[in-house]
């Protein structure tokens, strides 16, 4: 049985809207248990990142004694400066989520046109040049590449051509650029498969301008690229926290998940287990969520393509 009941709260919607939603729900079916778990993890993480900061105390203020264990006052305990760990974790989660989302978005915005143009002119010098440059960026692991550049340009804000880039913007830029080759390859491969379809020729014969034709191709290129991008949010969150852990990411006093874990490393010997275990679990569960849902999206699109 794959029937899904539509919740009552949307009963105010127009009937057409409802029936479309219902047919979509029927077609989509109930997600596999693993995917459902992934969705639950993502919802939890998003609530932590977006809702909890509205109620939690100031993550930079001392609101308790140093290294208090979890209690009703501080659900996740306090850190070595007596700051509320839940508030700090939530603020770090919000930063991670933003960096993950925006770096993938940036990578996609740059990579999809590049990959599509390269594929549209497959075999030309342009295609060749684009692919060679991308191979170079790809030759280094994302995290190592980011570490080089941040290490060399420093961890403060930088100004390029009069525009001041905050450290978090720099991290987003760097990660986005290092994702570019991976996304561009997917976009290129998809476009290559697509431009051989007869509708592309038919639309040209119909006299549609090139950008409209590419727009029609984009409709088919985008879904697999977006699914891939979703998986890469997990990698972005990992890379951001790893940079923070090495003190090469967004700098204190701004709380980051990586920074919290790095600080906690200094207090393991006094047995403040909550300090490192709880924020770390948040990170693990969030990345797991993105991986599970991303895998499911990719599987669905793979199956859709083979039909």
CB of residue 8 vs other proteins: minimum separation in angstroms? 27
Among 4, 6, 98, 149, binds other proteins (CB under 8 A): 149
Number of residues that bind other proteins (CB under 8 A): 67
**Does position 75 bind other proteins by CB under 8 A?**
no
Rg (CA), the chain: 23
CB of residue 290 vs other proteins: minimum separation in angstroms? 8
Q: Which two tokens stand for residue 150?
A: 């941040």
φ, ψ dihedrals at 48, nearest 5°: -60, -45
CB of residue 52 vs other proteins: minimum separation in angstroms? 20
Q: Which stretch binds other proteins (CB under 8 A): 53-61, 72-80, 111-119, 256-264?
A: 256-264
Among 99, 118, 214, 234, binds other proteins (CB under 8 A): 234
**Does position 284 bind other proteins by CB under 8 A?**
yes
The DSSP element (H or E) to which 158 belongs, if any, is strand 158-160
Q: Which two tokens stand for residue 157?
A: 């804000």
- Residue with Cβ nearer other proteins (51 or 281): 281
Provide the 3-class DSSP secondary structure of residue 83: strand
d(CA 279, CA 287): 13
Q: Which stretch binds other proteins (CB under 8 A): 42-50, 82-90, 91-99, 198-206?
A: 198-206
Q: Which stretch binds other proteins (CB under 8 A): 10-18, 55-63, 171-179, 258-266?
A: 258-266
**Does position 15 bind other proteins by CB under 8 A?**
no
**Does position 226 bind other proteins by CB under 8 A?**
no
For 203-218, b/e burial (b = at least 16 CB within 10 A) is beeeeeeeeebbeebb
Q: How many CB atoms lie within 10 A of CB 38?
A: 23
Least Cα distance to 6 among 21, 17, 16, 15 occurs for: 21
**Cα 21 versus chain centre, distance:** 27
CB of residue 284 vs other proteins: minimum separation in angstroms? 5
Can the peptide bond before residue 275 be classed as cis, meaning omega within 30 degrees of 0?
no
Q: Distances in Å between the alpha carbon of 252 and those of 86, 109, 122, 245, 247?
A: 17, 30, 47, 11, 9
Binders of other proteins among 87-146, rule CB under 8 A?
123, 135-136, 139-144
φ, ψ dihedrals at 230, nearest 5°: -60, -45
- Residue with Cβ nearer other proteins (62 or 251): 251
**Does position 43 bind other proteins by CB under 8 A?**
no
The DSSP element (H or E) to which 164 belongs, if any, is strand 163-165
Residue carrying structure tokens 């001041």: 164
Among 29, 160, 166, 210, binds other proteins (CB under 8 A): 160
Residues that bind other proteins (CB under 8 A): 34, 123, 135-136, 139-144, 147-149, 151-156, 158-160, 197-199, 201-209, 212, 216, 219-220, 234, 238, 241-242, 245-248, 258, 261-262, 264-265, 268-269, 271, 273, 276-277, 280, 283-285, 287-288, 291-292, 295, 307
């Amino acid at each position: 049985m794959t029937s899904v009941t539509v919740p009552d709260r949307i009963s105010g919607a127009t009937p057409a809207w409802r029936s479309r939603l219902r047919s979509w729900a029927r077609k989509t079916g109930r997600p596999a248990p693993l995917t459902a778990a992934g969705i639950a993890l993502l919802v939890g993480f998003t609530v932590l990142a977006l809702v909890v900061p509205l109620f939690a105390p100031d993550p930079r203020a001392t609101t308790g004694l140093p290294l208090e264990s979890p209690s009703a006052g501080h659900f996740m305990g306090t850190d070595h400066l007596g700051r509320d760990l839940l508030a700090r974790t939530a603020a770090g989660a919000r930063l991670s989520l933003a960096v993950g989302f925006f770096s993938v978005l940036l990578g996609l915005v740059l990579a999809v046109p590049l990959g599509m143009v390269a594929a549209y002119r497959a075999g030309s010098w342009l295609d060749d040049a684009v692919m060679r440059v991308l191979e170079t960026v790809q030759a280094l692991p994302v995290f190592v590449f980011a570490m080089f550049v941040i290490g060399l340009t420093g961890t403060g804000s930088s100004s390029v051509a009069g525009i001041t880039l905050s450290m978090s913007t720099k991290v987003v830029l760097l990660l986005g650029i290092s994702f570019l080759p991976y996304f561009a390859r997917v976009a290129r491969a998809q476009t290559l498969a697509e431009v051989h379809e007869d509708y592309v020729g038919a639309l040209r014969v119909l006299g549609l301008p090139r950008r409209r034709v590419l727009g029609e191709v984009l409709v088919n290129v985008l879904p697999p690229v977006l699914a891939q991008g979703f998986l890469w949010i997990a990698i972005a969150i990992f890379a951001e926290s790893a940079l923070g852990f090495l003190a090469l990411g967004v700098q204190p006093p701004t709380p980051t998940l990586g920074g919290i874990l790095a600080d906690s490393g200094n207090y393991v010997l006094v047995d403040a287990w909550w300090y490192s275990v709880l924020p770390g679990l948040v990170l693990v569960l969030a990345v797991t969520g993105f991986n599970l849902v991303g895998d499911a999206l990719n599987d669905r699109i793979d199956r859709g393509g083979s039909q």
